[in-house]
Amino acid sequence: MRRLFLLALLFCSWPVTESLADTEFRGEQSLWQDTVWSGRVLVDGILTIPAGVTLEIRPGTEVRFTRRDTNGDGIGENEIFIQGVLRVLGTAENPVRFTSAEADPVPGDWGALNMMASEEENLLEHCLVEYGYRGFHAHFANASVKNSVFSRNLRGLQFQESTVVIDGCLVEKNFNGMQFRNSMVRLSATRVLDNHWGIRCVYSELTMHDCEVAGNLVNGVNLRDSSLDADSLLVTGNRKGIYLQRSRGSLRGSRIRDNSEHGILLEDSDFLVVGNLIAGNGRAGVRWLNSRGELRDNHLAGNGEYALVNEGEGTVDARSNWWGTTAAELLAAAIRDGSDIAGRGLVDAGDPLAAPPSPPAAGLQ
């Protein structure tokens, strides 16, 4: 992740200048042939990239959008509308920047890099996207996003009915970091930090590897009617770390710690939790509500109120975990279930581990 840190420093040190753009687009315009951008570009309207046309943006290009809000809803409308192909080819040394042209920029100054019905090989690499309504939006599209920063947008990234691969990115200080529905999304080596919401999705398939989700005001990872296949995560400092509703999947070799409420909340879900460190969470390490699955070989000691809460009717299979103790009385105190409240299911914590398992070798430190 060192290259991403250096990229962020470069963006932060990039001077804001008032010089005129090399290329300007005003009003409603379209590119009718393959086009290459470099230098400074000003978009003062909606620029369409039609089907069959490719827009390539070279390293070091700066694209600025003026603010236009015709309906008074507080959301800027100027944007790039892509039905053809978008290829943003920044480098670590010379990234591409998409930003507001306003003297005092705020999130929502401009619309989006708005990709609609574009199923070609779209690519965003080494770019900064800031102060947009939806920094990058894909609908019925395919895209690969690499080594890029999405910051101070109302929605950092948003997808519908799309397939998106995100690698080596930083999504920070947006209202919604990332949200999507009916999509297939693969995240790797990506940080989702200090947003109001971290990751939210419905009716989607999400794969996460070697990612950090931290410091988000509400929930870190929030799925409904979706699937999550995740390993090597660091999920920390959110309100709820991982919250699944009517979802399925597995979490392996991850650190879920120091979230203010629950580390993991499973509601009407089918989930396998294996080999994780789940500690330091304010209320419960795991809250289990009418869900199915197993807890195996996890470190569950050191959470605020309980290691595990069963609020459903069925039994939770939680054998072979480390609870901080093997003493029956202390182990029972770490669990809240039908033994404490009538009508709830029990927790089967049989054969607890005699010592804490080795900590997960999650890649992000």
Give pLDDT, residue 5.
Answer: 42
Give a yes or no: residue 204 inside a domain.
no
Whether the model pTM is above 0.95: no
Domain span holding position 29:
1-195
User: Do residues 103 and 239 both lie within one domain?
Assistant: no
Please report whether residue 258 resides in a domain: yes
**Single residue among 195, 222, 254 that ends a domain in this structure:** 195
- For 136-163, b/e burial (b = at least 16 CB within 10 A) is bbbbbbbbebbbbbbbbbbbbbbbbbbb
Same domain (yes/no): 279, 222: yes
For residue 97, CA distances in Å to 67, 147, 243, 325, 326 come to 17, 13, 34, 53, 55
Same domain (yes/no): 133, 85: yes
Do 221 and 179 share a structural domain?
no
pLDDT digits (tens, 9 = 90+) for 229-240: 999 999 999 999
CB neighbour class for 27 (10 Å; exposed up to 12, middle 13-18, buried from 19): exposed
Residue 201 domain flag = no
Considering the domain architecture, whether residues 83 and 220 belong to the same structural domain is answered as: no
Q: Burial, 166: exposed, middle or buried (Cβ in 10 Å; 0-12, 13-18, 19+)? A: buried
Mean of the per-residue pLDDT values of the chain:
93
User: Residues 330, 320: contact at Cβ < 8 Å?
Assistant: no
**pLDDT band for position 363 (50/70/90)?**
low
- Are 185 and 283 within one domain? no
> Span 97-108, mean pLDDT?
97
User: CB within 8 A of 180, min separation 6: which ones?
Assistant: 157, 158, 159, 160, 162, 164, 200, 201, 204
List pLDDT tens digits, range 27-83. 999 999 999 999 999 999 999 999 999 999 999 999 999 999 999 898 999 999 999
Report the DSSP beta bridge partners of residue 320. none
- Residue 310 CA to residue 51 CA, distance in Å, equals 53
Structure confidence at residue 201 (pLDDT): 98
Choosing from 195, 225, 257, the residue where a domain stops is 195
User: Looking at the domain assignment, is residue 207 inside a domain?
Assistant: no
Helix (H) or strand (E) holding 35: strand 35-37
Q: Decide if 365 is inside a domain.
A: no
Mean pLDDT of 253-260: 98
Q: What is the pLDDT of residue 21?
A: 79
**Which residue, of 150, 165, 195, is where some domain finishes?**
195
Given this model, what pLDDT does residue 188 score? 98
Does residue 173 sit in the same domain as residue 231?
A: no
Q: In the chain, pLDDT over 70 holds for what percent of residues?
A: 93
Asked if the model's pLDDT at residue 17 lies above 50, the reply is no
How far is CA 110 from each of CA 152, 203, 251, 318, rounded to the nearest angstrom? 12, 28, 37, 49
**Per the domain annotation, does 241 fall within a domain?**
yes
pLDDT recorded at residue 302: 96
What pLDDT is stored for residue 10 in this prediction?
Answer: 47
Distance CA 257, CA 232 (A): 13
Same domain? 139 vs 219: no
Q: Is residue 205 part of a domain?
A: no
Instruction: Say whether both 20 and 54 belong to one domain.
Output: yes
- Determine which of 8-12, 131-135, 218-222 has the lowest per-residue pLDDT on average: 8-12
Rounded CA-CA distance 123/121 in Å is 6
- Please state, in angstroms and as integers, the Cα–Cα distance from residue 226 to each residue in 183, 195, 252, 338, 352, following that order: 10, 22, 18, 29, 31
Answer yes or no: are the C-beta atoms of 133 and 75 closer than 8 Å: yes
CA atoms of 346 and 339, how far apart (whole Å) = 7
Kindly report, residue by residue over 106-144, the tens digit of the pLDDT. 999 999 999 998 878 899 999 999 999 999 999 999 999
| Total number of domains constituting the chain | 2
CATH of the domain at 11: 2.160.20
Question: Same domain for 151 and 240?
Answer: no
One domain, residues 305 and 258: yes
Question: Domain check: are 243 and 105 in the same one?
Answer: no
Any domain includes 203: no
